[in-house]
Each structure stands twice: as structure tokens, then as C-alpha cells.
Amino acid sequence: MPVNKATIDLITEFEGFVGKWYPDPAHGWAVPTCCYGHTDAAGDPKFKNTKEKTFTKAEGAEILVRDLAQYEGYVKHWVKAPLNENQYGALVSFTYNLGPANLAKSTLLKKLNAGDYAGAAKEFPKWNRAGGKVLSGLTRRRIAEQRLFSVDGVAKQTPVEHEPVIVTPLPRGTDPSVNTGGWLSALIQFILSLFKRG
């Protein structure tokens, strides 16, 4: 499932948009960053090729969607427990911010895969340090992810494709309650088409 709007809103709020490359707050220019938290680790665009470029918000949004697809892949690979769309989104945000290696080795993942959803939720706030220091931005983000993870999401169901049912309309001015032949024929056609699809 793709991440939902609540996830995108969370990520864009905490990453913020910067239209130029800038040094990562925790790692400096060792990790050049642009747009909504994009780094070379996520793929193109690469810093060395675009270091003078100014990105638009539309470009930033496209880059984010592309980046998130990769991080969704990590979540799908390592998480074995069923997830609703909010739990899934919280984990994608967590992994996008902290990297897939941290998800893979986390107690959060171990508890989640053991079916301990409440225990997994309690692990989010523990990941609020960068360079050994507690950062208020990370603390707030982990709490937001924890809240999103803990909110019941509606699992999206894939709509079932059906062949169109062709019903012949009654002539104009015809009362369907009187002309039961045409109405009944159309109803029978519809019911038979349901059985064919099943």
C-alpha cells in the first residue's frame, strides 16, 4: 500500500522544504541534504551533480515520492506483522529519517514482529538522539510517529474489477412498475452477470 496523506503530512512537516542543498543538522556536509530530507543515500538527484541547483516545491514533492518508495520497500521486507495504513506510514517515516539499518536492528521491529504492537509503539520515543545528543525535533517527530502508529487506520481494499452490466433502458415515458417484462428481464440479466463473475 502507498503511504497515506497523514504520513506525507508528518514527513513534510518535520523535514521541511529547503530548495537548495544544505548540511544535515547531525552530520554536517558529510550528508548533504535537500528538499524534504533527500540525501544521496536515496538516489538521484546526487549532490555532486546538482549542488548549485535550486529545487521547486513540485520537484521536491516528486523526489520525496520516489524516495519513499524505496523506504517502503525496506518496511515491507522486514516487517512480518500485519499493519494498518497508519502503522505502515509511521514505520516508513521512521525508516526514512533514521535509515533502514536502524529499523532492522531495532527492538521496535522485534516487538512488532512478535505481535506486541503496544510494546513496539513504546519504542518510538527512544530514537530521539543524533550524534549522542537528544534533539527536540527528533523527540517531537518520534512522538508524532508513535501517535500515528497508535491510531486505527482503515486498511484500503483493492476494488474488484467487474465487467460492466448492460441494462437496456425502458422507452421514455414508460412506467417501470407497469412494464414488468423489460424491468424483470433487466433484473435477471443483472443477477446472471453476478453469478458469472463469482
Q: Which residues are catalytic?
A: 15
∠ at Cα 58 (54, 61), nearest 5°?
105
DSSP conformation letters of 29-64: EEEEEEETTEEGGG-SSPHHHHTT----HHHHHHHH
Q: Which residues, at least 6 apart from 127, have a Cβ–Cβ distance to it below 8 Å? A: 94, 98, 102, 106, 108, 138, 142
Do 102 and 146 form a contact (C-beta atoms < 8 A)?
no
Label the pairing between strands 129-130 and 38-39. unpaired
CA separation for the pair 145, 135 (Å, rounded):
15
Do 100 and 129 form a contact (C-beta atoms < 8 A)?
no
∠ at Cα 97 (93, 102), nearest 5°?
100
